[in-house]
Chains A and B, each alone.
Chain A
Amino acid sequence: MTHRLSSRFAALKAANRAALVTYIMASDPDHETCLEILKGLPAAGADVIELGFPFSDPMADGVSIQLAAQRALKAGGSLRKTLELAKRFRATNADTPLILMGYANPVESMGYEAFAQAMHEAGADGAIIVDLPPEEDGPLRAAFAAHDLSIIRLATPTTDEKRLTKVLEGASGFLYYVSVAGVTGTNAATHEAVRAAVARLKGATDLPIAVGFGVRTPEAARAIGETADAVVVGSAFVDEIAAGGEGAAKRVLRKVRELSEAARSARAKEGQPA
C-alpha cells in the first residue's frame, strides 16, 4: 500500500473519525474547472480523492455519472488527461491520497505497465477498475506491484464468504463496499444492512472499509461513518456540476464541506470529539 493511503487511514483511526472519500469525474465540466475543484477538495474536507476517468459505456454507473462521462468526453477528457490533472493536483498537494476510478478498456488500450508508470509519475496512489474482477486483474496487479500502487477491490451485497476471500487476495489501500446491488447514485441501503455488512467485512480483513453507492445526504454519511472507516460520495457532487453555470466549483466544495462535517461528527456523540 502506498504511504499516503496507509498514513491517512492510520491518522483517521487515531482521531477516531470516518473519512470522506469524494468522487468527481476528470474533465467534468472542463479541465480547468475540474482542477479548481480538485485543488479545493482537501481544504473542504475530502480525506481521499477519487478521480474518475471517462468512458463512453459506464455500465455500473447510474445516470449522474453517465452524464458526467459524456460531458468529460465532450470536453476532451481521456485517461491521459485524467493523469495530467492528477499530476497538476499533486504539484499542489503532497499528502491527500488520490485514486483513479473507471473501466478497463481505456487502461487496456494504454497498456497496464504504461498505466502504472503514468500513475506513478502523476503521484496517484491506486485505482479502482470497476470491470476488472480479481480473475481478470492479474496484469494490472503485476504492473501496480512494481510501482507500489494500490488495487482497491469492491465487495458487494452479492459477495459471500468464499467470494470475499477471492476479492481480498491482492487487495490493498482499502476495501470499497458497494452497499446496494445496483448502479451508482440511485437507491440507498438501510443503515442496518450497512452496519451488518461492515461488521462482516471487518471480520475478514484489516483493510479500512469504505462504503459507497447511493450516499447523498449528510444524514446517510453520518450513519455510515458510525461504523465504516470511510464514506464515499460521488453522484451528489457530480450533480452540482451538472447543474451548470459559473459557480459549479463553489457549489461542489460547499457540498463537500457539508458531507465532511457529517462524516466527521458521526462518532462524536460517543464521547470522543472528532
Chain B
Amino acid sequence: MDVRRNWQGLPDAEGRFGQYGGRFVAETLMPLVLDLERAYRAAQADPAFAATMEDFWTHYVGRPSPLYFAERLTAHFGGAKIYFKRDELNHTGAHKINNCLGQVLLAQRMGKTRIIAETGAGQHGVATATVCARFGLPCVVFMGATDVERQKPNVFRMKLLGAEVRAVTNGAATLKDAMNEALRDWVTNVADTFYCIGTAAGPHPYPEMVRDFQSVIGREARAQILEREGRLPDAVVACIGGGSNAIGLFHPFIEDEGVKLIGVEAAGHGIDERFEHSAAINGGAPRRAARQPHLSFAERGWANPRRPFDFRWPRLSRRGPRAFVSLRHRPRRISRGDGCGSAGSVQALRAA
C-alpha cells in the first residue's frame, strides 16, 4: 500500500514516477520541454487558468458527464452494481477533449501559434482539431497510413474541422510512427509549434499534464458515486490503451485504499506473441531487464508497433496494489492507444 500513499507526490522534480517517466528526447527539444514545464507551473498557480478550464468544461465540453447505473448489465452479470462514467457524451464523443482543452489553452498562454498532434484511432485528432477550430489555430494531425485507411470517418471529421491530416507511411504506419513523425515536425518547427499529446506518455511534463487534465473524470465519478450510493465503489475499471482515460479515472481514487483499481489491456493473439498484442504493461516483461520490464525487444532494436508507448517514453509504473487484466480475445474493433473501446470496457467487467 506504500505505493498508493506515495503516489500523490509524483512525478518528482526529475519528472519521474518511480522508475518511469523522465525526459528521453533529443537535445533540440530539451529547452522546449523545460519551457513547457515552467509555463505549466505558472498556469497551475494562476486561478484564472483553472477558471477558464472550468468554464469551458461546463459550457463547451458539457461536463459533468453522467454517472449512469447500468441496471440491465448489472442484472445480466448478477454481481456488483455496475455504473458507467459516460465520458463519451462529451463534445467530440470521447474523454480526449478534457486534455486537449487544457493543452491548447496552455499553448495560447505560451504564445504558440500552430498545434500538432498524433492520433491512432482518431479520437485525439478529432478533439485537437475541434479545440483548434474553436481558438482559430492551425492544426496538423499525424496519423499512420494504416489508421487513416481504417478510420475514414474520423479523418473526414478532422478535415471538416480545418485540420491537415498527414498520413505517415514510415515504419509500421501506425500510432508510434505517427508520434515519431510529430516529433520530427516539432524538432523542425521549434519556435511556433505546440505538440498536443493525448496519451499518458511523452517527456515530462506531458504525462503529468494528461493526468491532471483527465482527472476531472475521476473527481466527478467519485463525487457522483458518493451521492448515488453514499459510499465508494469496490472497484474502478478502465481500459488502458495509451493510458489517459485510465489515469484520469484512477487518480482521484488512488488514496482510497478500499477501492480496487483494475486496468484492462488488449492481449490480441496472446501476450506472449511478439508484436501481436497491445498489452504494454502485462506483455513486456523479460526477467533480465529489471529496470524497464517492458523493453523486451528493444535490445534487438525493435519497438513493438502494437505497443506504441512502451519504449523511449516509459509511462506509468506497473507497480502498485492494482490488478491488471489482459483480454485474451480482443474484439477486432478495440482501438489501440487512442480512445477507449466500449467493447473493451464490457469485457473488462466480465473479466473483473
Contacts and interface: CB of A to CB of B under 8 A. Distances in A.
A78 B27 CA distance: 24
11 contacts: A55-B301, A60-B26, A72-B301, A77-B301, A108-B289, A108-B292, A136-B24, A159-B27, A163-B30, A182-B28, A183-B184
Contact of B28 (A73, A156, A186): A156
Nearest to A187: B188
Nearest to A53: B301
B232 interface: no
B301 A130 contact: no
A158 B32 CA distance: 8
A60 to B, nearest CB: 4
A131 B298 contact: no
B176 interface: yes
Interface string A38-68: 0000000000000001111111101100100
B8 to A, nearest CB: 23
Contact of B301 (A62, A106, A183): A106
Contacts of B43: none
B59 interface: no
B110 to A, nearest CB: 15
Interface in B232-278: none
A183 B30 contact: no
Contacts of A163: 30-31
Contact of B303 (A57, A63, A111, A132): A57
A219 B232 CA distance: 71
B132 to A, nearest CB: 23
Interface string B178-208: 0010011001111000000000000000000
Given A59-B312, A133-B23, A110 B301 contact: no
A183 B189 CA distance: 11
Contacts of B298: 55, 105-106, 108-109
B184 A59 contact: yes
B187 A183 contact: yes
A79 interface: yes
Q: Give the top 3 A-B pairs by smallest Cβ distance, nearest first.
A: A109-B299, A109-B298, A105-B298
Nearest to A80: B299
Contacts of A111: 289
Interface in A126-155: 130-133, 135-136, 153-155
B312 A103 contact: yes
Contact of A167 (B27, B189, B292, B311): B27
A159 B26 CA distance: 12
Interface in B4-25: 14, 22-25
B68 interface: no
A192 interface: no
Contact of A60 (B31, B176, B187, B311): B187
A77 B298 CA distance: 12
A135 B22 contact: yes
Interface string A78-108: 1110000000000000000000000111101
B312 A133 contact: no
Interface of B: 14, 22-32, 170-171, 176-177, 180, 183-184, 187-190, 289, 291-292, 295, 298-303, 311-312
Nearest to A181: B190
B289 A109 contact: yes
Contact of A105 (B14, B29, B176, B312): B312
A100 B259 CA distance: 49
B301 A78 contact: yes
Given A131-B25, A133-B26, A178-B27, 17 more contacts: A59-B183, A60-B28, A69-B301, A73-B300, A77-B301, A78-B301, A106-B299, A108-B298, A109-B295, A131-B24, A135-B30, A158-B28, A158-B31, A159-B27, A160-B31, A163-B31, A187-B188
Given A78-B299, A78-B300, A158-B190, A57 B26 contact: no
B180 A57 contact: yes
Given A59-B183, A79-B299, A109-B298, A104 B24 contact: yes
Nearest to A61: B184
Contacts of B301: 53-56, 69, 72-73, 77-79, 106
Given A78-B301, A131-B312, A153 B27 contact: yes
A131 B292 CA distance: 16
B191 to A, nearest CB: 8
Contacts of A108: 289, 291-292, 295, 298
A135 B190 contact: no
Contacts of A155: 27
